[in-house]
Structure formats: structure tokens, C-alpha cells
Structure 1
């Protein structure tokens, strides 16, 4: 019997979760990224246009793929962009998955101009498969590297702008926050179009923090707890990280992440929509310096990510953290369905970690 494609429902959540949790990010730690308790429901919360596809064989789910469309800024215009994720097969599956059939069936309901995905860099077989060009079929090209940082609230970050003030936002700041996001996020490709705060896909105004001078915003970001839909679970440590675990109290005082036990879920918030005026590194550093005290007590650590060519990379690489790398790719569809390709600068993108 062949593998049969269908659109998933909430009842398929357990089978999707089984496949999702077979893939572990490798780096200084083996980190499991998951969407418990039900990945299907989690994907549906990401966008009102989300589409989840599955392949079944003899009634068992053997392959999964999800597309999450969002209205995003791309090269100065607004476009539907689709994040393609959870493109995975059952680990011991002997037969092939017809991914082209999945793209064919999902293409019209996803209705997007730009498709992109993120792949753990160690998954070289997956990257090789995605990048193979075939006539009239979709293929992937590298956009940029992406690094995810797990940072302790005790991390040492110097305040490079002592003259600036820092505070938690209120509802009264909503218009200024939205204007700042549009100006500095909107100048980057793949940053979502944000017209209002709150709901499933954007933090509320009270979740944002503002670095300002005389009321003028210089940097902002939100502490966004998304543990109800996506989680990181520590699977295993190796090398120097395993050694450091024995010195947890000491390394915490030195600014390193206090390493949680293996098999436990990390208690964290994303630092989301983190932007600075003119992308100034000093503003990013000053914001990070202040935000640490807001995290301490509520969370063990905070998580954020940035692509290799983003200005934040210089600042974040200075901070003691656990980190892992993935590869961002554009899935080129023009040879597949004749779609007109939207060209944009791969070095000028802003991809939000909490939306991956």
C-alpha cells in the first residue's frame, strides 16, 4: 500500500507529535523542540490560514508537513509569506514520501508569494533533498544562517546608554509600539505586518518593554510566554556543557544559563519583536541589560534568535548563552506552479524566533 496524503484534523495530533519529537536539534545540548499537547491545534493557533498535511500508510501517520501563512513585509511591500515547517517522515519508514504531492495539494489553500523554511544544520540529508533542483518542481536555496540563543537573566550585559530610561509598556503605548514595529520591522523582509497588539500571534501591549529618551522609543521587545503551544525539552548534554552542569550554582553567578536536568521542559519566555532604532547595537545592549531583571524570578531564561546578517548578531554573540544553529531557506515555487518570484535581499531579513 502506498502512502496516502490528506489534510490533518485535530484527531491526528498524537501521530503528528510522534514524528515531530523524533527530530532533536544538536548543538551544545540536544534540544527537543515540540508542540505539546497537540501539534495540529498549535499550528492552527499560528494563523487562521494554517494548513497541516499528513501521509498515512495502513492507517498510521508516516509523514507530516505544515504551512503557516502570514501577511509580512517583503522588500518594502506586503505579501502573504508561508513558513513551511514540520516536514518530516517516520524515522524507520522504508518507503518514500511524495512531498511534491503535498506541495501540490497545499499550494492553493496556502496562497502565498514567498515560502521559506528552517532546517537544523546537522540535517544534511534533508538540506540536500530540499536543494535538489528538478524540472518544474519546487526546490530550496539558502537564505541565511539562523542562531537561537538561550540566555540567563544573570547574563553579563553592559549598559552602553546610561542616559536612556527603561520601563514596561501600557495600553497607552500601543500606537507608538505599532508605529515603531512598522518603521523598523517593516524595513526588513519576512517581518510580519502587525496592525494590532494581543491575540494568538502578537503579544499584548503590557508584554512589551521600552527603552526611551524623553518618551521617544529607542528599542523595544516583548517577553512572550508561548509554552501553551510550543516548548523546548532538554534531552541530553555532552562535552563541556555536561561538565558545567556539576557547577550550576557557580556558572549561574558567572552569567551562564543554569542548566536544567535532562528530560525537563525549559521554563522560558521568548524575547520577541526585539528592535532598535536604526538597528543600533548600543540600544540592543542597553535593552538586554535592563530586561534581565524583568525575567529573573518569573523565568529561568529567555530565548531569541537572529539571522547571521542581522545587526543583533554582533551583540548576542557577546553574551554568554547556550545556542544552536539552523539554516533558513527559501522554497522556490516558480518552476512548480508558474508563480512569479518575489525577489528580496536575503541579508536584510528579520525572522521572529517565537513564530518558527
Structure 2
């Protein structure tokens, strides 16, 4: 009979594991005022693999019963760190099958496997996020354990849901001197150059290339999904992509709690006050994500008008999401707009040999986390 130590095999997932991974995803839900199931239909394995340049899906396989007890993923991406393109890992998707919860202490073996994997990846550090309400997981990760990397809090990250289909009401003087339009292929070189120029001023802004946008590296995202705001001389003032990812990952709404339960009967009235209507329980949320966005010189007037334009042109879905780190100088603009939001805690994750790199991080630089890649 195998011992508890030998019973669980840690290894890379295969495409044949997709259905079982999907089942584990959908038996877990995010609790709170809005209860959601985060899922990846129709092919969970393929969906996870789209989240980075390299993606490792690590499964804990119960060899006694031939089942997956749990899994987690690491996506390696090329991000700007201290203004330089750098390989960074994003840890995400950690799930344990319900029948194995709190029954088998195998966390240390999972991190041992991750440590072995880390030694072949040559990444500078890792980042991750944990929902603000998930205090138990935060406490577990922040407690120092010899078999785990360090989880160092790195500020809070907030995702805002903003209503679409709003009339353009801005009285900004910029209206007369700028234009707003969908990007074309002719914009591609300037678009990428602008994202590099502005992005390198942020910690962890994705390094976007022309090849990535042309070759389908980001599923269902192309040049046509970007919107640009220009001044009278054709200079870019702001850019961002409205990314609809529902073909390969979705949020299934289970229900409401707290004050949202009280608000739901009046959901049709919420748009009158600038808020998005609350979707019906049981529905898959229809939204797009404002991704790879940048604003020249972090100008709040430009950003505010850019959001106005986006809300005006985005009528196919009832709301769009945008995420912002608390260090971002434009976060206050989002706070001023009618919104529904939820917060996460961001962490730097690193092994002892990565401590020297962590010490070099410019703390004064603003932080960016791509909402479309969470």
C-alpha cells in the first residue's frame, strides 16, 4: 500500500486532464457579496495555456484512485521591471478538489515541485494576487515556512466594473482638440512604441510586440480591438484594448449576498445612476476588459475623457472591467466614477536566491497588473 508521501504524484498536466481540471474549477466558487464561479469552458487545459509565453499546469495526482487532487499554474511573461524587459512568473489558479480539502497535507510537496521547476525557468521573481476577503489563504502564505518561497505583500489591486452605453457628457476642453477612434493596422508601429514608452515607467507592464498582436498570442485580441485617442497633431494620448475573452474563460454568477442582495430587485434602476445593472443569478457575465492601457504622462484629464469615450462606444456588453494598483496615479479617477469593484492583495513571491533582485526593485515606480491576464 502506498504511503501518504508516495500516494500523490506531482507532474505537468496534459490535454487529457482538461475535463477533470474544469470539474474542480466549477466546484469551487468565490464567496462574498457577489458569489462567482471562475471557469474555463470549453477546454480548461487549453485556456490555461493561453495565459503566458510559457505556462506550467502542475497537478497533484492521487495514484491510488487515479484522480487529480488539486492543481496550480505558473505563467511566465515578459514584463517591464525597472524599465527593462524581464521574465516574471505569475502564480495563479490554485485549486484543491472538494473531496481532498483539509485531508491530505501535501502543500509542501507542491512547493518542492515548483522549486524544482523554478530552477529551469530563469525568472527574476514571481507575482500573484489573493482576494482581499480570503484572509485564511493570506495568513497561510504570509507565514514563513522553510519549504515555501517568501510571499511579500506588494500593495492592493482593485478591479472596477464600469457601465457602458453612456452618452458622452464630458465638458473637457480636450474634446475640441483630440480624436478617438478604433486602431487600424497602419497604427501598429506607433501603438507598440507608445505602449513601450509609457509601459516601461510601470513595474510589471507587459512587453507588447507587433508579432504578438499579429500572431494570435493573445486569443481573440487583435489590433482592431485597440482604441486610440490622439491630439490635433496625431500624437497618441491614450490607448487601450477592449478584450472579450468569453470564448475561453468565464465568470458564472451564482448569487448575491449582503447589500447586493437588497439591491438586486432594483437592478433596472441602477443604470439611471450610472452603475451597471446587476446580472441575473445563473448567468455568464457579459463584459470585456480594458487591457494594455496607457495614458500619456499619467494625465488625469486625458484618462477621464478616454474612459468617457470607451463607455460611449462599448454597447455590446453592459459593462467593462479595468484593474488598477493602489500606487497608480490615475486610480482616483476610477474611484470618482459610479462603479462596482472588488479588491485583491498583490504579492511578490521569491526564493532566497532571488532576494538580491527584489532589493533592486524601484519602489517609487507605479505598479501595473494586466487585468486580462489574471
Interval of TM-score (by shorter of Structure 1 and Structure 2): over 0.9
Are the counterparts in 1 of residues 168 and 312 from structure 2 also a CA contact under 8 Å?
no
Choose which of 319, 341, 344 in structure 2 pairs with 1:301. Answer: 319
Distance 1:216-1:6 versus aligned 2 partners, 3 A rule: same
Change (3 A) 1:321 1:26: farther
Which residue, out of 44, 57, 60, partners 1:39?
Answer: 44
Note closer, same or farther for the CA distance 1:172–1:302 as it changes in structure 2 (3 Å cut): same
Aligned length: 353
Q: Which residue of 54, 69, 79 maps to 1:49?
A: 54
1:214-233 matches, cutoff 5 A: 214=232, 215-233=234-252
CA distance in 2, matches of 1:226, 1:39: 13
Residues 107-139 of structure 1, C-alpha deviations (whole Å, 9 max, x = no match): 144431120111112222211222222347412
The alpha carbon displacement at 1:106 in A equals: 2.3
Aligned partner of 1:290 among 309, 314, 325:
309
Q: Which of 71-80 and 28-37 deviates more? A: 28-37
| Aligned partner (choices 105, 116, 124) of residue 96 of structure 1 | 105
Please state which structure has a larger fraction of its residues in helix. Answer: 2
**1:154 Cα offset (Å):** 4.4
Q: Distance in 2 between matches of 1:119 and 1:125?
A: 10
Is 1:344–2:361 an aligned residue pair?
A: yes
For each residue in 1:287-313, what CA deviation from the matched residue of structure 2 results, as whole angstroms up to 9, or x when unmatched?
0111112211x1121111111111231
User: CA separation in 2, counterparts of 1:220 and 1:73?
Assistant: 18
Select 1:273's aligned residue among 292, 296, 299.
292
2:94 maps to 87
1:67 alignment partner in structure 2: 74
1:153 CA displacement: 0.6
Q: How does 1:1-356 map to 2 (within 5 A)?
A: 1=4, 2-57=7-62, 58-93=65-100, 94-97=103-106, 98-135=109-146, 137-154=148-165, 159=170, 160=172, 161-163=174-176, 164-196=178-210, 197-198=213-214, 199-201=216-218, 203-214=221-232, 215-296=234-315, 298-335=316-353, 340-342=356-358, 343-345=360-362, 348-356=366-374
Q: 1:252-274 CA distances to partner (integer Å, 9 max, x unpaired)? A: 23211111111110111111112
What is the CA–CA distance in structure 2 between the aligned matches of 1:133 and 1:195, rounded to whole Å? 38
8 A contact 1:156–1:319 mirrored in 2:
no
Partner Cα separation in structure 2 for residue 156 and residue 82 of structure 1 = 40
For residues 157 and 92 of structure 1, the distance between their equivalents in structure 2, rounded to whole angstroms, comes to 52
* Structure label with greater radius of gyration: 2
Distance 1:259 1:38, change over 3 A: same
How far residue 339 of structure 1 moved from its aligned partner, in angstroms, is 7.1
Query: Which of 150-159 and 104-113 deviates more?
Result: 150-159
Distance in 2, Cα, partners of 1:14 & 1:109: 28
Note the C-alpha offset of 1:217: 1.0
Tell me the TM-score normalized by structure 2: 0.88
Contact 1:140–1:331, Cα closer than 8 Å, also in 2: yes
- How far has the Cα of 1:173 moved from its partner? 0.8
Unaligned runs of 5+ in 1: none
Contact 1:19–1:89 (CA<8 Å) still a contact in 2? Answer: yes
CA contact (8 A) 1:332 1:341 kept: no
Deviation at 1:83, TM superposition (A): 0.5
